[in-house]
Structure 1
Amino acid sequence: MNVGDRIFFDFDKYNVRADQRGQVEKWAAWLKRNPSVRVTIEGHADERGTREYNLGLGERRANSVKDALVASGIDAGRLTTVSYGKERPAVLGSNEAAWAQNRRGVLVVN
């Protein structure tokens, strides 16, 4: 696993996409091999929408990833979540290519 690995979400959605589940499964397998590690799951949004809305959306995204990891057998006590909404874009730009990269969940090792 690489620190800062990420998964991506569809516009205005927070469910883990089918094409992203493999990444979550890799995270779960890595966490099982490293039982003392704790991680923070960051939820991010693109620039569209209000600050408040995107903070809530980022929170739902982070919690969705957390729920998927817990469903894979990871102890919830090892997982924390935080939402940055649209405050920390990975890519600058006001186009679909940039927005798609900014709608993400990021796993950060504590």
Structure 2
Amino acid sequence: MASLKTTLVAATILVAVAGCAKKRPADLPPPPVDNSGPVDQGGATGPTTGAVVPGSDADFRRSVTSNTVRFGLDQYDIDPEARAILDSQSAWLQRYPNVRITIEGHCDERGTREYNLALGDRRANAAKNYLAARGVSPDRMTVISYGKERPEAMGSDDASWAQNRRAVTIVLS
């Protein structure tokens, strides 16, 4: 009888421990794209000439006003400066209709993680919607929000925060 009780207790403990097994973590987002390097990174240049390959991210960054749109505090509206930047991006994207892009939304460090992820998403979608209104197919564009997780400028001051409130357009290879 004692042996049966011991066996039942051991079986119950094994079932309880098996139910607590560690779950696999969710897939993490891709690492940030380094936009600070030289224009010819990522195989976007010719093998011997050093020329920029048309339709590459390097060509995009060389050809447009900027690949980054800045936003005000808690804002996601497209102001006149952002319109000029996105108009130059739209013109380039219309020259290369098979190129796909990702628009990354970013925030400064203030606010909760959840709030900043939502705000980054609104910023990226504002840029996407503007480009779509200018004739770029929404099927070619994806958005991702990094919230405050990937700052461009380290620091807790107005200048750093202003640099981190942005939407960045990345040409996919």
- Equivalent residue in structure 2 for 1:93, among 121, 132, 155: 155
Rounded to whole Å, the distance in 1 between the matches of 2:156 and 2:100 is 34
Aligned: 1:2 with 2:58: no
What is the Cα deviation at residue 20 of structure 1?
1.5
Find the residue that maps to 2:61 and give its secondary structure.
Answer: coil
Rounded to whole Å, the distance in 1 between the matches of 2:67 and 2:83 is 13
Letter of the 2:93 counterpart = L
What is the Cα deviation at residue 55 of structure 1?
0.1
Match in the other structure for 1:57: 119
How many residues are paired up?
Answer: 110
Query: Which of these two proteins has the greater Rg computed from alpha carbons?
Result: 2
Match in the other structure for 2:88: 26
Letter of the 2:61 counterpart = N
1:64-101: per-residue Cα shift (whole Å, max 9, x none)?
00000000000000000000000000000000000000
| Greater length-normalized contact order (CA 8 Å, ≥ 6 residues apart) | 1
TM-score (norm 1): 0.97
Please give the residue correspondences for 1:98-109 in structure 2 after superposition, counting only pairs within 5 Å.
Answer: 98-109=160-171
What is the Cα deviation at residue 34 of structure 1?
0.7
**Identical counterparts, % of pairs:** 51
Greater fraction of residues in strand: 1
Structure 1: 4+ residue segments shifted above 2 A:
none
Superposition CA RMSD, Å: 1.2
Unaligned runs of 5+ in 1: none
Find the residue that maps to 1:84 and give its secondary structure.
Answer: strand
